[in-house]
Structure 1
């Protein structure tokens, strides 16, 4: 046996992950806010464009993380074999993705209107540690090593804030800022290497956990997460096309509240995922997590309504005062998206292929409906309606799953 662990301490460990993810998100948010103030609109615009590329590429890391966490959670007898395969695969995938982005650096430079290709080259270098961290985090998540995972999350946020801010204070341009981000990604990789350095050699071969099988599953996971990110981000693109510049700016300010509500309960998804992969724990973990996210969201929506003036300080200030009356609706949107994120990970946990079609359908519906909007209120209402409908459908589908029917942990292409 390889590190069998039947004790799953919840309260303290869940709190550690909650604190770590909150600090990570605050540090990331702090770096972007400081960068905007220090660098100015032009250079910050280039940095924001580069960060958007990393968000897209990050689905590879998240796909690897979900694969590792799910397989370890449902096959405790082959933990060492899974660790060995996923970490080896993560290394190869990270190098391939880095080389692909490097080869495309001239294209990236032109698409993002960067001053020189060096920025795109550094961006490609950042892809390698970003992707590698995904496999490491997945191993720790699947083994429920919440303390080590919390340290890894802290290392993903704080060094970027410290190193990145120091570099842009020295030289406030996009190239230096991206270099700070790339150096920041090296810290969680170092943490992951340290906590996983004493890996055991697998006692027996586990062909069901081959690199090919894991690559197939990770690719599927990345595709699912990509469409979720598209669903949660396409509304700002729609706003830029259907609203004038002023209203589009108001919508973007409101989305700050939405993103806060999306990332605030992220720790719940992290802690619940291994249990959602286990047939005997799946339904209870999903229901409890949905209730927890809903409760946090309800409190935030109420606060956004009653303390809207205070919330405006973080959203953008008096210049964006016209959106104040809609902050509760943007908070509602963020809560729905957080619950949808949990449902998407539930889909990954049980490797349900057909459920992904519902997310694609919702994305198409959102684009079609959103393009008919002619005001901030109408657009955000449409987005909330589509996302809520998808949430209800996915929840009903999840609750109908027979929790006594196990999900094959080893099949590279399990049925939906």
Structure 2
């Protein structure tokens, strides 16, 4: 909760002090970092699983090193790609993507701590990492730095956090069985569903600077904060219900009940966003007035994506390896629609919410058909 709160707290000074154009660049690169964080999220899951199985710690550290090296190389190419895709300058693009490799180290260390069952320490680590990643960004923006300096500060904070988490993770109990660690390919396969989820939640923002003006992209980026909030807020629902989703006897009932909970939360968040919309010019800046009447639409998109995340978790729990394919096809269609038809904040937001609804529909149908076969 501390880490997520700080991540959103960054948006307030950034949106006020960077201006719509600068904030648009800043926000789209933060969203790009979510894509680069996919291998890290998968790495933590694989490492934690292997620790429980008693894998050799030296092998796990080698796995962390390999994934970190691959991510570091990929981040260079991704930074160059973002310059063309999102029309960003080289400085902020490379400053942002440089944080991907230390994030993999953090994830690997958290996986070791999680696998050992040291949850008190893990909670402290998550909060500490959140502070180290967010506080430097806030300080850089408040001191008058532009998007390049803000993103550089965040990367430096992430690097410091990686050193700290690594030092804590090294202090592990003795190896239990010394079983061979998982191969890097395990992380690759584990990244599949994570990638679908993250891309679905970020695609519209990633392409916003391609189809909108710099100012409109900044306005859209502020609206997308409501999308992210509505998406991440009910994440604990999936965590709690996951064991029941994996139980063949209770899976269907659990999926239906969890979907109802997410629907209630989504309606509440959407209504709250509609009520909060008129406050945007006062709380943030008059420059963002065009988003006041659309904030509910952004929140609705995030609420629908939260349901999609639950459905993909259900596919994983039921050992449906191809569960992300239907949503992936919708994402491909969403790219085409954005590039062809999105020419305003409203049109891009409408395409995003319709794509989210379509993803939920096709994934739900795929799960139902899989259960009958």
Q: Normalising by structure 1, what TM-score?
A: 0.70
How far residue 131 of structure 1 moved from its aligned partner, in angstroms, is: 0.6
Cα distance in 1, alignment partners of residues 58 and 299 from structure 2: 42
Paired with 1:278 and 1:197, the residues of 2 have a C-alpha distance of 35
Instruction: Confirm or deny that 1:295 pairs with 2:295.
Output: no
Residue aligning to 1:352: 320
User: Which is worse superposed, 262-271 or 126-135?
Assistant: 262-271
- Cα deviations across residues 168-198 of structure 1 (Å, max 9, x unaligned)? 5567255543442123223265246426622
CA 1:173–1:323 in structure 2 vs 1: closer, same or farther (change >3 Å)? closer
User: What is the match of residue 114 of structure 1?
Assistant: 90
Selected match of 1:93 from 64, 67, 70: 67
- Shift in Å, 1:361: 0.9
Verify: 1:211 aligned to 2:182, yes or no: yes
Unaligned runs of 5+ in 2: none
Matched residues in 1 for 2:140 and 2:355: separation? 42
* Residues 112-191 of structure 1 mapped to structure 2, 5 A cutoff: 112-114=88-90, 120=94, 126-141=99-114, 146-166=119-139, 172-174=145-147, 176-185=149-158, 186-187=160-161, 190-191=164-165
Give TM-score scaled by structure 2 length.
0.77
Count of matched residue positions in the alignment of Structure 1 and Structure 2 = 367
Gaps of 5+ in 1: 1-19, 403-416
- What is the root-mean-square deviation in Å for CA atoms of aligned residues? 4.1
Q: CA deviation at 1:333?
A: 0.9
Alpha carbons of 1:301 and 1:167: their partners in 2 closer, same or farther (altered >3 Å)?
Answer: closer
Give matches, 1:233-244, under 5 Å: 233-236=202-205
From 261, 271, 293, the equivalent of 1:325 is 293
* Matched ranges for 1:17-416 at <5 A: 20=1, 23-35=2-14, 37=16, 47-48=26-27, 50-69=29-48, 71=49, 78-81=52-55, 85-99=59-73, 101=75, 107=80, 112-114=88-90, 120=94, 126-141=99-114, 146-166=119-139, 172-174=145-147, 176-185=149-158, 186-187=160-161, 190-191=164-165, 193-194=167-168, 197-203=171-177, 205=179, 210-212=181-183, 215-236=184-205, 250-272=219-241, 286-310=255-279, 313=282, 316-350=284-318, 352-370=320-338, 371-372=340-341, 376-398=345-367
Q: 1:268 to 1:88 in 2, by over 3 A?
A: farther
C-alpha deviation, 1:152, in angstroms: 2.3
Bigger drift between 124-133 and 163-172 goes to: 163-172
Q: Residues 124-168 of structure 1: CA distance to partner in whole angstroms, max 9, x if unpaired?
A: 653332012223334555666543332222122112333344455
Whether contact under 8 Å (1:152, 1:191) holds in the other structure is: yes
In the superposition, relative to structure 1, how do residues 54 and 241 fare at CA in structure 2: closer, same or farther (>3 Å)?
closer
